[in-house]
Amino acid sequence: MQLLLNRLLTAVVFALVAAPAFAQKDNQRYEVGRRLIKFEVDFEGIKDPQILKGISERLKPLTFYFFSGQLDQCAKALDLARWNCKNQGDPSGIRTFADSLSLTSSRKIIELKEKLIECEIASVYPTKEKGLLKGRLYFSQIDGKEIRELALLSIEQLPHKVSADIQGLKQGEYQLVLELSSGEKVVGSHKVLFSLIGDKARLITEMRATKLKKDAPFWEAGKQNLTGLLGELLMGKKFEGDIPVKRLVESMGFLEKGLDAVDDKKGGEYLVAFPGRVAPLPVRIFIPACAKIAKVPVVVALHGAGATENMFFEAYGVGKVKTLCNDRGWMLVAPRNGITVDNLRMLIQELPIDPEQVIFIGHSMGAGQALGFTLNHSKEVKALGLMGGAGAVGKNQSLGNMPVFVGVGSEDFARSSVAKFSQEALKQPENKLVFKEYESIEHSSICQVCLPEMFDFFSMSLKK
């Protein structure tokens, strides 16, 4: 009963504090996502305890800022943490001002006939000090290769409107880049991804006309999800990350061709969905190349509160989970807002998954969901990984001899509850639980730090 009350209380508190966060402008959420990825790039591989401690202090308020709707402060905290990955103290006023800016296009999908992209340079969060910045605006390909210089700007008054000429470019995915300088020194840069298409009406018609590989709810829900997502993007809706048209087209190709669409060397990454009562439930998957010839292990990854399935592909170490799965020839499945046992069985039926090699992992709220699923359906799960979150094991429940890896940071607000769960679980007979605490790591960065060790643990467990 106490466990149920705790869960209900958690749900109520989450509902109360999360509501303002999701009422924020889409662009603020996008900027937080973009800054998270930039931070994770610079954070990768840092081992120095003093540097980690400074970064942790910057990131500790992140969860509070997010759930209290202060997305501007989330963005600022991530910028400061990224600065401390390579520098001590605070950045200069002009550097802070440069970091605080954003480059925003009116839409992420643009028809070639439109000729121009309307953009705005604005502040994501307020700064005490401002100064004169010079801006260089240019187009680049996704790999960063510069292809066209557009304008030289003096940024004094904000917001600053600017138009970018797309004439002469071909269909495809591009980046619009703003490089900021003070004097002769580059002090920051911002970029936005966009897709150029020939005719949006034709694209919509082609996606709607796609014939599915299989007449089944899983495939039908995937198509419904993609056509709805395309419509939202065409209307200008922004998400926490970039969704290029190429990803939608490749996903529709998978729904049409099945495993034949998967690259023989690189594998394939797709947007699919589970059927839902009101609307499809989005799922993002990675299928390794080896799945074309044999069933493979699968990692079901459950994200934290307020996040989405994209975290495991874009963040948590800049998509480190996908890399670790690819290295081992494992499939990755990241559903939005949890998964039911019926949905898991649907996946196993529709995709080349070894039902004896199912691994669940989760971060924060997702860790609690992964634990709850495993306790209720232990025969369906081979191994379990919990990061920055856990839960409780009921009196009539047991993890038995299931391999379980639990990782938490010493500075994580959830540390005490995660440690308590681990201590209780370690008392159970025949347990195979490993508990690892990471010094000077807080809640938001635990995944990036502990995932490699967790996956090594899984690899050893699957061999036995």
Task: List pLDDT tens digits, range 61-95.
Answer: 999 999 999 999 999 999 999 999 999 999 999 99
- pLDDT interval class at 464 (50, 70, 90): low
Distance CA 428, CA 419 (A): 15
Regarding pTM above 0.85, the answer is yes
pLDDT at 141 over 60: yes
Bigger pLDDT: 16 vs 435: 435
Mean pLDDT of 321-350: 97
For 394-446, what is each residue's pLDDT tens digit?
777 888 899 999 999 999 999 999 999 999 999 888 899 999 999 999 999 99
Q: Determine contact, residues 333/285, Cβ cutoff 8 Å.
A: yes
Q: In three state form, how does the secondary structure of the chain look? A: CHHHHHHHHHHHHHHHHHHHHHCCCHHHHHHHHHHHHHHHHHHCCCCCHHHHHHHHHHHCCHHHHHHCCCHHHHHHHHHHHHHHCCCCCCCCHHHHHHHHEEEEECCCEEEHHHCEEEEEEEECCCCCCCCCEEEEEEEEECCCCEEEEEEEEEECCCCEEEEEECCCCCCEEEEEEEEEEECCEEEEEEEEEEEEECCHHHHHHHHHHCCCCCCCHHHHHHHHHHHHHHHHHHCCCCCCCCCCHHHHHHHHHHHHHHHHHCECCCEEEEEEEECCCCCCEEEEEEECHHHHCCCEEEEEEECCCCCCCCHHHHCCCCCHHHHHHHHHCCEEEEECCCCCHHHHHHHHHHCCEEEEEEEEEEECHHHHHHHHHHHHCHHHCCEEEEECCCCCCCCCCCCCCCEEEEEEECCCCCHHHHHHHHHHHHCCCCCEEEEEEECCCCCCCHHHHHHHHHHHHHHHHHHC
Residue with tokens 């500790």: 60
Mean pLDDT of 205-218: 94
Mean pLDDT of 94-120: 93
Could you confirm whether domain 200-463 is CATH 3.40.50.970? Answer: no
Distance CA 386, CA 361 (A): 6
pLDDT of residue 430: 86
pLDDT of residue 12: 31
- Any idea which fold 99-197 has? Immunoglobulin-like (2.60.40)
Mean pLDDT of 188-211: 94
Domain locations in the chain as residue ranges: 2-90, 99-197, 200-463
pLDDT of residue 3: 36
pLDDT at 8 over 70: no
Chain-wide mean pLDDT for the chain?
A: 91
pLDDT of residue 128: 86
For 17-71, what is each residue's pLDDT tens digit?
333 333 346 689 999 999 999 999 999 999 999 999 999 999 999 999 999 999 9
Mean pLDDT of 306-310: 93
